[in-house]
Amino acid sequence: MDTKRIVITGGPGSGKTALINFLEKKGYQVMHEISRDVILEAQKEGIEQLFLENPILFSEKLLNGRLKQFQDGESCKKPILFYDRGMPDVTAYMDFVKTEYSDIFSKTCFENKYDAIFVLPPWEDIYHQDNERYESFDQAKEIFQFLKNGYEKFGYTINEVPLGSIPERVAFILNKLKL
């Protein structure tokens, strides 16, 4: 069986993790976001904001982690696998902060393709900052545009998920996927 790989992405504080957790509770296979793990690992080593201090190292760690998730998806026995962010998120964030990066980032994104991309728009009512989410809401809106452009750069069609309750958003995604 070929598993369909579906990315749910969006700027910070757009509801991705809540949506992924809901899908998991409904019995769907998911791959959770790894950036907080990378951030917390760096903080244990005394680096408060690895992305700001060394964006290439942070991005390499993220790309490698997301590539591993993609490769781990090969063994998925379910018809659909949801990812909380995908590899093109890495280049989109580097584009957002105007960081140059090697061709290996783009090459990895082109060579490992997902089947569908769902982008959650910024949602001010649910947005909040914390130790790992340092961006302002205005920056979250900018990141949303960079994510859309970033995925389109790799040939993806973007499905923008409307604001609404978690069940409404999941219904939108599943309807688009014809599930």
Residue 34 reports pLDDT greater than 80:
yes
Task: Work out the angle between the directed axes of helices 88-96 and 55-72 (0-180°, nearest 10).
Answer: 160
CA atoms in the 13 A half-sphere facing the CB of 20: 23
Portion of the chain with pLDDT greater than 70, in percent:
93
**Nearest CA among 114, 65, 85 for reference residue 8:** 85
Domain that holds residue 30: 4-176
In this prediction, residue 100 has a pLDDT band, given cuts at 50, 70 and 90, of very high
Supply the pLDDT for residue 129.
57
Q: What is the CATH number of the domain that holds 117?
A: 3.40.50.300
List all residues 6 or more positions away from 140 whose beta carbon is below 8 Å from its beta carbon.
11, 12, 13, 14, 122, 127
The CA distance from 155 to 153, in Å, is 5
List all residues 6 or more positions away from 26 whose beta carbon is below 8 Å from its beta carbon.
170
State the total domains in the chain: 1
In this prediction, residue 131 has a pLDDT band, given cuts at 50, 70 and 90, of low
In this prediction, residue 125 has a pLDDT band, given cuts at 50, 70 and 90, of confident
Task: Work out the angle between the directed axes of helices 35-44 and 55-72 (0-180°, nearest 10).
Answer: 130
In the predicted model, what is the mean pLDDT of residues 127-143? 69
CA–CA–CA angle 57, 88, 114 (5° rounding): 135
